[in-house]
Amino acid sequence: MLLAVPFVLFLVYKEGLMNQFTRDRLLQLIGFYALLHIVLLLYFQTDAYQKAAGLAIDLRYLLFFTLVFCIVVLWPKTRHIFLKVGIVAAAISITFALLQATLLPHDILKYIGYSDSTIATYQTVDKNSDYIRVNGTFRGPNPLGAYVGVVLSLLFAWAAAHKKKAREHKWLLVGTGILAATVLWASYSRSAFLALFVGFVAIIFISFKNKINLRNILIFSTFIFMIVSSIVILRDSSLVQNVILHDNPTTGSSVDSNTAHVDSLDQGLERVILQPFGAGIGSTGSASLNSENPLIIENQYLLIAHETGWFGLGLFLVIYLLIMQRLYSYRRDWLALGVFAGGLGLAVIGLLLPVWVDDTVSLVWFGLAAIVLAPHFKIDGKKNATSN
């Protein structure tokens, strides 16, 4: 990715677009965010490995967004190439995860380098071997679930925008959706389920707002009430305790995942309050594991604030909100709607997990966002010529 930077910059300069790119508010903010990281690298005296790892984790998806954005603006036809590559990659990733959950040995990933010393081949729900959580080829079940949630949001957005074609290919859509949902279930990722629900609700309200009336609202509210009531009534069942609550007292886990999440959030919030200017790049997450004081914070926003301070968090939120606002403004395009809905879901996951730390999830979503926004970039007052 870094090797592509000077090449793309040269092409932007050669095409005489440097001035127009630098005047774009979103790209300006991304540049300021990167500059803040450089300043913090110089200010905080941390290990060189921590700095390098932290810098890569924090900036790679924004760098990727910028590169894809520039490439699609320069060569509009590459938009379709990126989309085709994304579709093929999604098919391969979901198929492999499905096979891992069904036919293949759960530890199949050990043959390609996964291990307890790197990335576990699979996980369980609080050490309960009856509930295997598959990784696919991701860093863990939660990133896999987040990725599948984005794919399902895109699938639903396409069906909502192409109702006639969706009816013609309903069995293909339903079959694909079931297979992807099976992988999502096998991840046992509660945050991914919540994110998918948020994304689907957003698509329904945007696509079918003219059909939303009191009757439909009551039906939807009744449906939600039935789900919540069922969870409460069946709270002592093995399914609810393991899949939803992740808190089964009969398993071998001494500390359940809920308690671990709460402890991590308490520790992270306390440090962020006491360190308004942050603690330096690489001071938390996987970048800090080789340091004397490793720190894992189960919240994307607290992680950013811990490294870059309150100002860095505010700057990141403005960047993300601006991307989401632009996606929403193009919501008539099914791809923009799907990426917007997926972005809402991932933002929710960020409250529970450091969702952007996983490079696959972050690069895919920010890359898709760039593909959506690039055709609308105005060159000499005109939109970049490309088709939806």
Q: Give 84-130 pLDDT, tens digit per residue.
A: 999 999 999 999 999 999 999 988 988 888 887 778 888 888 777 88
State the average pLDDT over residues 143-162: 95
DSSP-derived secondary structure letter, 126:
T
Containing domain of residue 327, as a range?
4-248+255-383
What's residue 382's pLDDT? 58
CA 60 to CA 361: how far, in whole Å?
Answer: 12
What's residue 386's pLDDT? 45
Residue 245: is its pLDDT beyond 70? no
Pick the more confident residue, 251 or 333: 333
What's residue 261's pLDDT? 66
Instruction: Grade residue 387 by pLDDT with cuts at 50, 70 and 90.
Output: very low
- Total domains in the chain come to 1
Classify residue 252 by burial, with Cβ atoms within 10 Å: 0-12, 13-18, 19+.
Answer: exposed
Instruction: Grade residue 380 by pLDDT with cuts at 50, 70 and 90.
Output: low
259 in any annotated domain: yes
CA 94 to CA 97: how far, in whole Å?
Answer: 5
Which of 41-55, 132-146, 221-235 bottoms out in mean pLDDT, i.e. has the lowest? 221-235
388 in any annotated domain: no
What's residue 232's pLDDT? 66
Residue 235: is its pLDDT beyond 70? no
User: Considering the chain, what is the average pLDDT of its residues?
Assistant: 86
What's residue 117's pLDDT? 77
23 in any annotated domain: yes
State the average pLDDT over residues 270-283: 88
The helix/strand/coil state of 89 is helix
Classify residue 142 by burial, with Cβ atoms within 10 Å: 0-12, 13-18, 19+.
Answer: buried
270 in any annotated domain: yes
What's residue 388's pLDDT? 42
Residues 167, 172, 174, 177, CA torsion sign = negative
User: Are the C-beta atoms of residues 376 and 383 closer than 8 Å to each other?
Assistant: yes
Classify residue 273 by burial, with Cβ atoms within 10 Å: 0-12, 13-18, 19+.
Answer: exposed
User: Are the C-beta atoms of residues 180 and 148 closer than 8 Å to each other?
Assistant: yes
Q: In which element (H, E) is residue 130 found?
A: strand 128-134
Q: What is the DSSP string of 3-67?
A: THHHHHHHHHHHTT-HHHHHT-HHHHHHHHHHHHHHHHHHHS---HHHHHHHHHHHHHHHHHHHH
CA 79 to CA 329: how far, in whole Å?
Answer: 19
86 in any annotated domain: yes
Question: Among candidates 328, 278, 327, which has minimal Cα distance to 304?
Answer: 278
The helix/strand/coil state of 116 is coil
Question: Among candidates 107, 21, 337, which has minimal Cα distance to 199?
Answer: 337
Residue 163: is its pLDDT beyond 80? yes
Instruction: Grade residue 225 by pLDDT with cuts at 50, 70 and 90.
Output: confident
What's residue 65's pLDDT? 96
Count of positions (residues) in the chain: 388
At 375, the amino acid letter reads P
What's residue 44's pLDDT? 85
Residues 6+ apart with CB under 8 A from 146: 189, 191, 192, 195, 345, 346, 349, 355, 358, 361
309 in any annotated domain: yes
Segment 187-197, tens digit of pLDDT: 999 999 999 99
CA 364 to CA 247: how far, in whole Å?
Answer: 32
Beta strands 128-134 and 378-379 are unpaired
Chain centre to alpha carbon of residue 295: 21
At 344, the amino acid letter reads L
Question: Among candidates 299, 271, 278, which has minimal Cα distance to 39?
Answer: 278
Which of 72-81, 84-93, 239-248 bottoms out in mean pLDDT, i.e. has the lowest? 239-248
31 in any annotated domain: yes
